[in-house]
Amino acid sequence: MNYLGHIMKLGLSALLILLLSSCTVKTDQEIIQDLWSAWEKSEVLSQDDFPDAVPLLLVHGWNGGEFTWPVPERLIALEQKLQRDVILFTYRTGILANRYPPIEVLEEQLDRYLAPYAQVDIVAHSMGGLLVRQYLSHHTDHPVRRIVFLATPHFGTNIAQVLVSLGSMGAEGNIQATEIKPGSDFLWQLNSLSGSELDGTEVLNAYAAEESILETDLVVSASSAHLPWAHNAVLKGDHHALAKRFDESSEVTEFLTSGLLPPVQPSPERRDVWLRFRTNYGLANLSDSNFKSYSARGLPNRNFSLCCKRRSGLHSKAGYFTVIIEDLKPDNYYAFMPYDGKEPFLINSNELMRSEQSVSMRMFDLVVKEGSPKEGEGALQPAVGMP
């Protein structure tokens, strides 16, 4: 689905939420009382009742917090059901421009939080899943036994562009939103590990089944949420309901209890690809001038986007280094124009569509030579990180 389609679905979802919420208006006093009641029960939840059992850690996503999860009464009931403590990890995040830390900094906060535990299981929602993967990639001696990813944008979300635009109203921007854009350097580096950060852990990656407008994820597409290096499953619910009702999911609770995995979900049919080009000048900074796309009839089209105008990783620099092509179509082709007036380097979409992954990353290592190369010259290489 293209960017406009995502925005239209998001707008429809927001309208439905407003219509439904208008039927249950509470007074200010009732709202305040509900908040106090929730915090009172959260204080009960925070007590250690099962010190000898492996605790369950909940890691929320972007703009989330304690209220991402089931209400405290249900989490207390879950503790009794699982006979283990449920603990919450929270961090600074939000919708508008602010000095929210990048995910690479948050991983160190998570490391310090986990230090007292010999073993822990994790349920991570949305961007929280990226935070957990980033943490695992740099902390091999970790205490994590099992992980449940819920609606995690492993390959980014187009909604992040809206968040980046909101963040651009302030000088600080929204760093976290930039890092979860498709094609960001943060996501390129993380996914270049091909799931090796998950070695030694039991993983269930779950995302929303696309059944109806009310039972689908309007934030993260199935192609982005599918993790090719893990056991994938689909659950009923939208992006937020997967976290808000995870305690009602037998697939999740059975996995947390015994490691039992539900039926596997195959990769989505849609194919997306991220492209980068390395020349003898280094990693190519891309633009509409040096990258073109054409239809099967040879007509120019612009069915791609570039990332990222802003710096998109702690160890990266600003620049359009990544081409993002969503929902590849047969017989289209793409042309990269190397520097110094060299002939174009051509890529056929059919070659890109052969990948078994819903989203693949391709780095073309090019030593630019005189003359026009044959179409598809330069075999597709496994993705590698920035120099």
Question: pLDDT of 198-246, one tens digit each?
Answer: 999 999 999 998 766 667 888 999 999 999 999 999 999 999 999 999 9
The reported pLDDT for the residue numbered 99 is 77
Q: Which residue's entry shows tokens 């689905």?
A: 1
76 & 222 share domain: yes
State mean pLDDT over 37-44.
Answer: 57
Residue 136, pLDDT score: 98
Helix (H, G, I), strand (E, B) or coil at 5: helix
Question: What whole-number percentage of the chain has pLDDT above 90?
Answer: 64
Are 253 and 311 members of one domain?
Answer: no
Q: What does the chain come to in residues?
A: 387
CA nearest neighbour of 371 among 335, 350, 345: 345
Task: Give domain status of residue 265, yes or no.
Answer: no
Residues 174 and 283 in one domain: no
119 and 251 together in one domain: yes
CA distance 253 to 255: 5
**Is residue 289 located within the same domain as residue 314?**
yes
Q: Does residue 387 fall inside a structural domain? A: no
Q: How far apart, in Å, are the Cα atoms of 370 and each of 265, 284, 327?
A: 47, 18, 33
Q: Is the pLDDT of residue 58 over 90?
A: yes
- Asked whether the predicted pLDDT for residue 369 surpasses 60, the reply is no
| Within-domain flag for 267 | no
Q: Assign 3-class secondary structure to 50-74.
A: CCCCCCEEEECCCCCCHHHCCCHHH
Q: What are phi and psi of 304, to 5 degrees?
A: -145, 165
pLDDT given at position 30: 60
Q: Is the pLDDT of residue 20 over 60?
A: no
What's the mean pLDDT when you consider all of the chain?
84
136 vs 381 pLDDT, higher one? 136
User: Residue 308: what residue type?
Assistant: C
C-alpha 347/C-alpha 334 separation (Å) is: 5
- Exposed, middle or buried by CB within 10 Å (0-12, 13-18, 19+), for 57? buried
Which pLDDT belongs to residue 376? 41
Q: Do 251 and 359 fall within a single domain?
A: no
203 shares its domain with 298: no
Domain count, the chain: 2
Q: Which of 128-132, 201-205, 294-298 has the lowest mean pLDDT?
A: 294-298
Say if residue 243 is in the same domain as residue 363: no
Range of the domain at 330: 272-382
Residues 118 and 30 in one domain: yes
Cβ atoms within 10 Å of 81's Cβ, excluding its own: 12
The answer to whether residue 120 sits within a structural domain is yes
Evaluate if residue 8 carries a pLDDT over 80.
Answer: no
Average pLDDT for residues 141-148, to the nearest whole number?
97
pLDDT score for 21: 38
Q: Are residues 222 and 278 in the same domain?
A: no
Same domain, 248 and 280: no
Residue 225 · residue 207 · CB < 8 Å: yes
